[in-house]
Structure 1
Amino acid sequence: MSLREEARAWLEESLSGEFAGARGLGGPGREHEAYELRRAWERHLGAHGWTCLGWPRRYGGRAASIGDQVAFHEEYARAGAPARLGLIGEGLIGPTILDFGTAEQKDRFLPPIQRGDELWCQGYSEPEAGSDLAGVRTRARLEGGEWVITGQKVWTSLAQWADWCFALCRTEEGSQRHRGLSYLLVPMRQPGVEVRPIVQLTGTSEFNEVFFDGARTAAGNILGAPGDGWRVAMATLGYERGVSTLGQQIGFRRELAEVIAAARRTGAIDDPVLRDRLVRSWLELEIMRLNALRVLRPDPGPEASITKLYWSEWHRRLGELAQAVQGRAGLVAGDDGTLGELQRLYLFSRADTIYAGSSEIQRTVIAERTLGLPR
């Protein structure tokens, strides 16, 4: 039996029993849904070996090929399985620890991620340094065998539930831009860490402000050498464009199908201009998959920015198209104030071209690091 077949059978069985109610829960604008059930699902995945597939077996992975990892993410999306709470740990900090961590750090941090026991968030963006990551001002200093951290992070996804945060901090006094930054692993549940949820256009909160006021972490909780944080942070961003994007596109395909169905219900599909936009959206989604496969590799390089730029711009246009096919009905919430799926798609997709590196930053990365153009 192939891994794809094994995954399909396991998902069907698991999502028909105890976790039947978890199907379709979570995701952009809906991360508040059934948190406890989805946390239990994370542990269920881990216990049955369906997290961290590409990791070495020593740390609970399957040493799976990229092809098998893609197959799993596609089957996961097709099954309508709940949005992952552990994706930041598995997809971002885990691979970074594998690359840059000491043996002790790997033994300490990787197994709880694989088991679904510890959740992570990403402490990059700041109020004065959104996509300009080199402008971070959060500071950390060594004091009595610990890093003491002071500063603020913003747009921190899932911070309200995270056990740990990987934070880029300025650790060399007087340093500027890319120099003097360090990559720290910080426990979230301690005095000196305050999380304030941000209410989004969707009315829900999955982004947060995080305030560090004398928060502490052990001196050994640093990836790479002090001052080498920029290099480590760039590696993490590369992993953000990894194999899970292929599964993400299954979700996009489902959303496009809903938009087309809405166009048929409202009669908008008879409008030649809207029909042309629907066809273009379908063609561009096919191109997205082919391009993602073309650039996929174990150690994503700067060309992975092409994938982020493409899907985020496409998804935002899909949100606009969703509103267009609904007509006036798309402008009105339900009687109880709730949003429809297509309304939520439109509102949340406005953020796609900003988070995880804005489109402007992605274009700069592509120009300078992929095409070799001058600054």
Structure 2
Amino acid sequence: MMNLRNSALILAGLATCIAVSCAGPQSADKSAKDSSTATLSIDTASFDTTINGKSVKLYKLVNKNGASVSITNYGGRIVSLLVPDKSGKLTDVVLGYQNLKDYQKKGEPYFGAIIGRYGNRIANGKFTVAGKAYQADLNDGVNTLHGGSKGFFGQVFTASQNGQTLSLEYTSADGEGGYPGTVSVTVVYTLTDDNALEIAYTAKTDKETILNLTNHAYFNLNGAGDSTILDNVLQINADAFTPVNKTLIPTGELKPVKGTPFDFLTAKTIGKDINVTDEQLANGKGYDHNFVLNKSNATTPVATVSSTKTGIAMEVYTSEPGLQFYSGNFLTGQTHDGKGGAAYPLRSAFCLETQHFPDSPNQPTFPSTLLKPGQTYQTKTTYKFLVK
């Protein structure tokens, strides 16, 4: 938990290196069963650099409650997200690194990044647009994941901050990553005074293309650095999900969740069914599946998560038809280079990535991800935090 001195330092911006304790120190020899949360330490100066001639910085949005989000324009990454717990103390609920160089490492798990041009997987990286075949970069075995090796997660966005809003812009050149069309993208982050992080995406293209944008924040409502999310309680408003093969490509089926471990219509802990014998759980090494969201309105969350430890709850609102629930199955905890020296072990975070469905360009029954000249791509997702 954050003490008063560190809280004051953060809110006043009096230090370059920000240090807060989320729930006590965690030494490198702690086992995965130790749920104490590591000390967060972000060297803001390390984000102040130039990449490929473009300026990179760490931007901070703070609301009237003292809640804050820190975002770098390198990949549009959410580096920290501090929200009040049941005691009113600020807790960081997203995983990440404390300096820029770690975000540039090959194989890092897309912590907090804007994902594009295509969120999730495309089978064999192949797709057809306007009768022409295209080949995207292969970066996930035989498939393309999150746009390929030249995805938005590694690009520098042009940033403009106005109070509690950060606007990020990027132009993806025709052919970048194997995708057609020059695509101009704007992503706007807004931290509201009711502790909601809004992410609004807008894009246009000069040639027919496919586009599927999302954010890859890794959440743990016990606090970033806590060893597990299996005790976080999750509800997803989805009657069906899209089963996958062993390379995590959808089979094309929409399978009812009823009677399966994928039934989150009634809230349950993430860990309740994660280890049961199930072909789909085996394919994903846990949950790594797209949920087909039931139709909802702007006032109805598509998912809700809560922590009994901190009392923090998160509601997810989106205009997207799908939600990728990922239970952190590929986190290893082998190194301690997370914020405050934290190791992020298996299933110490979850992702709720709002999206169109994986491999939609090759699945004619899935919602289309085609974007044409003259059209405007628009979608919005909100992560709202409250205390239960």
* Same structural fold, with TM-score higher than 0.5 when normalized by the shorter chain: no
Structure 1 or 2: larger helix share?
1
Structure with higher RCO (Cα < 8 A, 6+ apart): 2
User: TM (normalized to structure 1)?
Assistant: 0.30
User: TM (normalized to structure 2)?
Assistant: 0.30
Structure 1 or 2: larger strand share?
2
